[in-house]
Structure 1
Amino acid sequence: MASNAPGQCCIEGVKHEGATKGSMIKVRGFDAYIVAPTGSIVHKNTAILYLPDYYSIYTNAQLIADQFAANGYYTIVPDVFCGDDFGKTPKGPDFALVPWLQSKHAPKDVEPVVDAALQHLAEEGYTKIGSVGYCFGAKYTIRYLAKGRGVSVGYVAHPSFVDEDELRAITGPLSITAAETDEIFPSEKRQKSEKILREIKVPFQINLYSGVSHGFSVRPDLSVRIEKFSKEAAFFQAVQWFNEYLV
């Protein structure tokens, strides 16, 4: 794999607080959070498909989506867990993350939700689609960056569960955010991913942030200076990437 299967670090972190600016809608029966550009910059016909981590649509994800909107991008966050994200699913003594994912949240379960979000964007007139994927969502950003799947530019942060063949199949520019301490996307996986990206000859970027661990770009402790700085830097990495390759 280009990244390992998820572990405990994928579900740890700090829940953030703040007023969100978007709204919840139904997209072909699935829940989604949408937010339109809120500032003076508006990138016409351009949208961000935000594929979230194991907590799906929650405050942290909504606030980041709002930030993309503030930078000119219409953004949609589909509930890829269909109401059964990690925060909501019952967890008895025998609960295990990977079997739960494989039995209830495999590609056959997730991709209809992603397809519905892409259809919504097409119906709204968005023709240039970038995708961001955090942890769990990274796998699907990469899967949909393959030819003909609707995404033309990708950004992923501390990816999990990505197969090498999935990475090898992408056809568009990809930016990757990585943490110094990350058992899911350790140095050997970063190096292997770089080797694959060099071989397939797509524009790519891999930024490594010291002093932080898996999940830092979404669920950091904002009272810790290096975590706050790295989270903000990772976000601007994504914005700069889309400004260069998507607009």
Structure 2
Amino acid sequence: MVSDCCKSGFRWNGTPTGTESTLAGTKAYVTGNNKDVAILLVHDIFGWTFNNLRLLADHFAEEAGATVYIPDFFDGEIVTEETMVNPELREKFDLMGFIGRHNKEIRYPQILAAAKALKAEYSKTGAIGYCYGGWAVFKLGSDPSIVDAVSGVHPSIVEPAELDALKVPTQILAPEHDFSFTPDLKAHANTVIPTLGVPYEYVYFPGLQHGFAGRGDQNDKAQVAGLERAKNSAVGFFKEFLH
């Protein structure tokens, strides 16, 4: 499920330090210089150019000791950051139409190709997905030959079967209030994943809402504390399972 929370949020200050390149024939933001460890970051609806996620990628590269890639999984379509902060543009933006153009059947083959390209080049690879990207990393996590560990951050469009099939270390960063990763899905994850024989970390963020870890308000102390805890949790998870 997706809703207006997927297209609202706050811009963060800062200038990304990486470069633009390609991965598996797709444009990609790349940051970090580790030759052995890579992380695939699957973006939310604001895509591969989203400043907030590029800043997070820089943090992961430095703090988790990895080369981090954010490929363009929307085939050049850009939802501007202005949409996120402008109520009029948000109202005009057809979220469901956008999701239809970039549904799982269309986009997963491209995401899978990117993950395979990284695995062919790096000895250890992880994947982290924000909102829209959450379902994708869980699907990748069904095959240990493709990825070594996955983290879903307030994931969207997740199906129970995608959680049932996990075969690698898995992390979920889950706010209390989430229209998408619902109480039923949370309960399913916390019931099923511990039976799968894989390391599992569920990190709960009381009082926070869907989108906080990628589009939180930097002027709100509670949200800042949450997004920093989310970043640090992902860093610790990848340091443990990719090194």
Fold shared by both chains (TM-score > 0.5): yes
CA spacing shift, 1:111–1:149, aligned 2, 3 Å: farther
Task: Give the superposition deviation at 1:220.
Answer: 0.4
User: 1:51 corresponds to which residue?
Assistant: 42
Task: Give the superposition deviation at 1:6.
Answer: 1.0
The 5 A counterparts of 1:4-153 are 5-37=1-33, 44-57=35-48, 58-71=50-63, 72-87=65-80, 96-102=94-100, 104-122=101-119, 125-148=121-144, 150-153=146-149
Letter in 1 for 2:54: Q
- C-alpha contact (below 8 Å) 1:211/1:227 kept by paired residues: no
Summarize deviations over 1:192-219 as a string: whole Å, max 9, x none.
1111212323211111112211000000
Task: Give the superposition deviation at 1:115.
Answer: 3.5
Task: Give the superposition deviation at 1:82.
Answer: 1.4
**Unmatched runs of 5 consecutive residues or more in structure 1:** none
Q: What value does the CA root-mean-square deviation take over the aligned residues?
A: 2.2
Take 2:112 and 2:179, find their aligned partners in 1: how far apart are those partners? Answer: 30
Summarize deviations over 1:47-76 as a string: whole Å, max 9, x none.
101001110121001000000111211100
TM-score, length basis structure 1 = 0.87
User: Hey, which of these two has a bigger chunk of helix by percent?
Assistant: 2
CA spacing shift, 1:199–1:98, aligned 2, 3 Å: farther
CA spacing shift, 1:28–1:205, aligned 2, 3 Å: closer
User: 2:86 corresponds to which residue?
Assistant: none
**Unmatched runs of 5 consecutive residues or more in structure 2:** 84-88
Letter in 2 for 1:98: M
Q: Helix, strand or coil: the match of 1:167?
A: helix
Letter in 2 for 1:80: F
- C-alpha contact (below 8 Å) 1:78/1:113 kept by paired residues: no
Task: Give the superposition deviation at 1:113.
Answer: 2.8
Aligned residues: 235
Take 2:230 and 2:54, find their aligned partners in 1: how far apart are those partners? Answer: 16
Letter in 1 for 2:240: E
Q: Helix, strand or coil: the match of 2:206?
A: strand
TM-score, length basis structure 2 = 0.89
Take 1:50 and 1:94, find their aligned partners in 2: how far apart are those partners? Answer: 28
Summarize deviations over 1:171-209 as a string: whole Å, max 9, x none.
001111111111112323211111121232321111111
Moved over 4 A (4+): 90-95
Question: % of aligned pairs identical?
Answer: 29
Q: Helix, strand or coil: the match of 1:243?
A: helix
